[in-house]
Amino acid sequence: MSVYLDPPLTDLQFIGQYDSEALALERTLRDADQQRRAQARRNKQIVLNDSAAKNLRLCLLKCLEDLMVLDPVFASGKNVEEKIWNLVFYNYIEELRGAIRKAQAERDASLHAAALSKLRSHLDTATNFYQTSMLTLTSCCESSLITCGVAVYKEHKEHKDQDRMDVHQEQQSNESVRLGVIHKCLVSLGDISRYREIHNSGDAKKWHISRAYYRKAIQLVPDNGKPFSQLAILSSYSKADLEVIYWYCLSLVNAVPHSVTRENIAAFHSIYAKAEKDRSATLLPEATTAFFAFHRLAFNPKEATASNVMVPFAKVTDLVDHAAVPTSSNVLPQWFKMTVPVLIATYHDLDQSFDRTEQSNIRHAIRILEVYATAMLFRLLTVSLNVVVDFWSVNEVDVSALASGKAVPPMLEHLATASIIAIWLESNMNVFVLFGKYVKTFKEGQDVLQLTLSNLARQLAIFANAVSAFADMDGSTECLPEDVELLGMTPLRNYYSNLTSDSMQSMLNDNIAPNGALLARIARIASFAKTLADDERVDMFRFHESDGTFEVVDETSKKRGLHKLMKALATERLKDQVTTLEQNITKLKEQALPMVVFDAECYVRATSLVKKWITGGRCMVIVPLDVIDQLDYMKKGTEKHNAKAREAIRFLEQRFRYKSPFLRAQKDDEVAVSWNRHVGQLTDNSVVVPKHMRSMVACLDWYRNNVAPAPTDENDVTFALVSEDDILTQVASAYGAAIGSGADARDKSILSLIMIE
């Protein structure tokens, strides 16, 4: 007798089988829940002990869990995670919470104890499931969760090339799906912990556990608005009203906003307007109340007019001005930390609303609100920069010493939110065009609004001129602590997509500000100043190439410029004398610093380190014409060293443009005497120099003999060459240059370690 065995099921057949079983169990569970609720209504009694429903939930959970592990992509398409949460856990949680509320209302101690016991047991089951699922899914990921999260975030650039093919597309898709499931597990664990604390009889609520789950979910997947919305709910428990709006707004402008966020914001404003204010948990309570009045109007453009919008705007800016004193240095930056993202989110939401509506009166109201939101951001940025500059002035801070990036006075906390405003404005320069266009149409408040822009321009010019000697005017691509919560904001996404993956991973893993955080913030603001000055649509802020300074171009400045021109013409006959005097002064300043020359390879192999030398202010860096020629040759190509050469050229061009006092380019006439073309010597008794090195050696010889300061003693180093080229270093040493290797560029103490011949 022959025995026929069924062939083993394939993975695809297993998936189909699990899917069919899950659908059948879903229908059965829904029917059972409906029957139980109907029975409870008929008998006016809550049914807590339903073993059949419990078994159905467990069977459905097992089936959906197998489906999720077997094929995460298929499970995601079937919304398996949501089914697990809603059908297996959430619906029964709400049923039990309803029973607890009923027991409390009726003072039924027996029902309350039974329902609470069931709820705790059910929450324990849910916690175990989600923690186990996270461990299983994490073990399937080839890299750490943070690394995977950053990779997925970078893939989803707003302007991503849709036609780009990736050989790892399928694998990345699976990683992305697993990460999404882990994200939902974290949010669910946060909700479970929150429910547990709500029904905890103790006075001290442990909200920090839920908060930690939500924050971890945000770190892994910034492009999902639900955990932001859940954090807003947590903040509402402690009556931290500004935090509530902050988190809701971050959810609202997320790439995937939570579905109930808009309704929750409307409900918040409705309750806040009627409730008696408990301001114990609120920063700057009066300013916050006025800020909420403005935000409520921005959320309801139909109610907005130029008059009623101007009132809260004026109150907020006035209160902020009064708070901008050293005694409130810790309070104001914290207040700015939350209000600035809210204003950016508000502007973005208004812009979306403008595109969605065709009603002229609503569109006009939206533009009014956008103008005032922009003006408020202008004012907050002006205040922050003013506080920082005043602090530098009062405390006689050597601004150039900030290039070290080490000592960070407390008042410089203002730079964090100032840099956020700066990157948003730089990414949305059209804001200035709209602001200028619509302010002119205002019958009231026009002067005040225009003043906010001119004040910002003046303060920005002062700040940019103070830092241009060492700041990276092209901005920074480092991820900073203030960025972590804002990575999911659509209005900032273009900028954040360009952050380096390494800095994002480091920041998300450790949440510790990098050593260069201060310089990165300054660079962001400086880059905004540069972009604003270069934008032809904004004619009131310019960079003057002649003297290397930023200036405000208003009527007063134009009159001042005309007066300056007339004065210059009247003193034209003294021009030669003045020029000579300036050159002498410059030469004296240069002679106060030791001089260092890097060869082209140093600029390519240690670009970031050479940048620190140039901006550090501890030496004068000389750039030979030969180095510029070599970098120009090396920049051509697609290899890594070609890109580094291009980066070095851009940096040098920037530093020369902004008149860095620590950088000097070799001029055509700054060379030694003519070479003996036959033997390659400068003099009859000097070392023979290979032809390709003569330009560099001639530069070294000229600067050493004509510009470099004389050493004060035998240990004093006043002129040095840094190079990995053994032949060049031997030749240069023979001509009197102290020699350091490329490795020495990593430590500025080289000047005390190497000696001139």
The secondary structure of 352-403 as a DSSP string is: HHHHH---HHHHHHHHHHHHHHHHHHHHHHHHHHHHHHHHHHHTT--GGGGG
pLDDT score, position 30: 86
pLDDT score, position 166: 46
Percent of the chain exceeding pLDDT 90 equals: 39
Percent of the chain exceeding pLDDT 70 equals: 81
557 lies in some domain: no
Going by C-alpha positions, the residue among 114, 82, 80, 108 that lies closest to residue 95 is: 114
461 touches 322 (CB < 8 A): no
> Two tokens at 624?
């030979």
Find which of 275-289, 344-358, 532-546, 742-756 is predicted with most confidence, using mean pLDDT. 344-358
- Does 464 lie in the same domain as 341? yes
- Does 598 lie in the same domain as 532? no
213 lies in some domain: no
- Does 595 lie in the same domain as 523? no
What is the rounded distance in angstroms from the CA atom of residue 410 to the CA atom of residue 420?
A: 18
- Pick the residue with more confidence: 475 or 283? 475
* Structure letter (DSSP) for residue 84: I
- Does 14 lie in the same domain as 98? yes
Q: Is the pLDDT of residue 161 over 50?
A: no
Q: Is 243 helix (H, G, I), strand (E, B) or coil?
A: helix
Q: Is the pLDDT of residue 574 over 60?
A: no
Single out the residue in 514, 538, 562 at which a domain terminates: 538
80 touches 67 (CB < 8 A): yes
- Does 509 lie in the same domain as 633? no
Q: Is 239 helix (H, G, I), strand (E, B) or coil?
A: coil
Task: Name the one residue in this structure whose structure tokens are 């020699």.
Answer: 739
- Does 603 lie in the same domain as 511? no
Q: Is the pLDDT of residue 387 over 70?
A: yes
214 lies in some domain: no
Provide DSSP, 165-203: --TTHHHHHHHHHHHHHHHHHHHHHHHHHHHHHHT--SS
488 touches 254 (CB < 8 A): yes
Q: Please, which pLDDT band fits residue 264 given cuts at 50, 70 and 90?
A: very high
- Pick the residue with more confidence: 677 or 235? 235
> Two tokens at 203?
């006075």
- Does 634 lie in the same domain as 491? no
Quick one: which H or E segment has residue 214? helix 207-220
Beta bridge partners of 541: 552
505 lies in some domain: yes
687 lies in some domain: yes
Which residues have CB under 8 Å from 267's CB, separation 6+? none
Single out the residue in 164, 188, 207 at which a domain terminates: 207
* Mean per-residue pLDDT, 533-557: 83
Q: Is 552 helix (H, G, I), strand (E, B) or coil?
A: strand
pLDDT score, position 363: 94
pLDDT score, position 310: 94
Pseudo-torsion of CA 473, 476, 482, 485, nearest 10°? 130
- Does 643 lie in the same domain as 508? no
- Does 618 lie in the same domain as 689? yes
497 touches 484 (CB < 8 A): no
Domains identified in the chain, total number: 3
Find which of 142-151, 430-439, 510-519, 686-695 is predicted with most confidence, using mean pLDDT. 430-439
Quick one: which H or E segment has residue 117? helix 109-140
- As to burial, measured by CB atoms within 10 angstroms (0-12 exposed, 13-18 middle, 19+ buried), residue 201 is exposed
Q: Is the pLDDT of residue 211 over 90?
A: yes
Q: Please, which pLDDT band fits residue 669 given cuts at 50, 70 and 90?
A: confident
Q: Is the pLDDT of residue 11 over 70?
A: no
Q: Is the pLDDT of residue 754 over 50?
A: no
273 lies in some domain: no
Condensed to tens digits (0 to 9), the pLDDT of residues 399-413 reads 767 766 555 556 678
> Two tokens at 338?
């939350």
pLDDT score, position 86: 92
- Pick the residue with more confidence: 429 or 102? 429
Q: Is 708 helix (H, G, I), strand (E, B) or coil?
A: coil
Which residues have CB under 8 Å from 159's CB, separation 6+? 494
Find which of 404-413, 417-426, 533-542 is predicted with most confidence, using mean pLDDT. 417-426
Domain hosting 47: range is: 9-154+174-207
Going by C-alpha positions, the residue among 424, 327, 407 that lies closest to residue 373 is: 424
| CATH number reported for the structural domain that contains residue 187 in this entry | 1.25.40.10
Q: Is 735 helix (H, G, I), strand (E, B) or coil?
A: coil
Average pLDDT, whole number, for the chain? 82
- Does 594 lie in the same domain as 530? no
pLDDT score, position 170: 44
pLDDT score, position 555: 56
What is the rounded distance in angstroms from the CA atom of residue 500 to the CA atom of residue 523?
A: 15
How far is residue 462 CA from its own chain's centroid? 24
Q: Is the pLDDT of residue 426 over 90?
A: yes
Q: Is the pLDDT of residue 560 over 50?
A: yes
Q: Please, which pLDDT band fits residue 752 given cuts at 50, 70 and 90?
A: very low
Q: What is the identity of the amino acid at 391?
A: F
What is the rounded distance in angstroms from the CA atom of residue 694 to the CA atom of residue 671?
A: 10
- Does 178 lie in the same domain as 105? yes
- What proportions of the chain, in percent to the nearest 5, are helix, strand and coil? 70, 5, 25
Quick one: which H or E segment has residue 541? strand 541-544
φ and ψ of 725, to 5 deg? -80, 110
Which residues have CB under 8 Å from 186's CB, separation 6+? 134, 213, 214, 216, 217, 220, 227
| CATH number reported for the structural domain that contains residue 749 in this entry | 3.40.50.1010
pLDDT score, position 410: 60
523 lies in some domain: yes
Between the CA of residue 572 and those of 522, 566, 586, 655, 708, what are the distances in Å? Answer: 38, 10, 21, 30, 32
Condensed to tens digits (0 to 9), the pLDDT of residues 233-242 reads 999 998 889 9
Going by C-alpha positions, the residue among 302, 277, 285, 289 that lies closest to residue 360 is: 302
pLDDT score, position 526: 95
Which residues have CB under 8 Å from 584's CB, separation 6+? none
Q: Please, which pLDDT band fits residue 548 given cuts at 50, 70 and 90?
A: confident
Q: Please, which pLDDT band fits residue 298 given cuts at 50, 70 and 90?
A: very high
Single out the residue in 502, 521, 538 at which a domain terminates: 538
- Does 150 lie in the same domain as 90? yes
> Two tokens at 318?
């006035």
Going by C-alpha positions, the residue among 121, 120, 103 that lies closest to residue 112 is: 103
pLDDT score, position 252: 97
Could you tell me the strand order of the sheet in which 595-598 lies?
663-665, 620-623, 595-598, 719-722, 738-740
pLDDT score, position 739: 59
Q: Is the pLDDT of residue 71 over 60?
A: yes
344 touches 491 (CB < 8 A): yes
* Mean per-residue pLDDT, 557-573: 54
Q: What is the pTM of this model?
A: 0.81
686 touches 701 (CB < 8 A): no
SS3 labels along 421-442? HHHHHHHCCHHHHHHHHHHCCC
460 touches 532 (CB < 8 A): yes
What is the rounded distance in angstroms from the CA atom of residue 124 to the CA atom of residue 126?
A: 5
Q: What is the identity of the amino acid at 24?
A: A
> Two tokens at 412?
């410089």
548 lies in some domain: no
Task: Name the one residue in this structure whose structure tokens are 């530093």.
Answer: 655
Find which of 89-98, 415-424, 742-751 is predicted with most confidence, using mean pLDDT. 415-424
Between the CA of residue 204 and those of 197, 198, 199, 208, 210, what are the distances in Å? Answer: 9, 11, 12, 11, 14
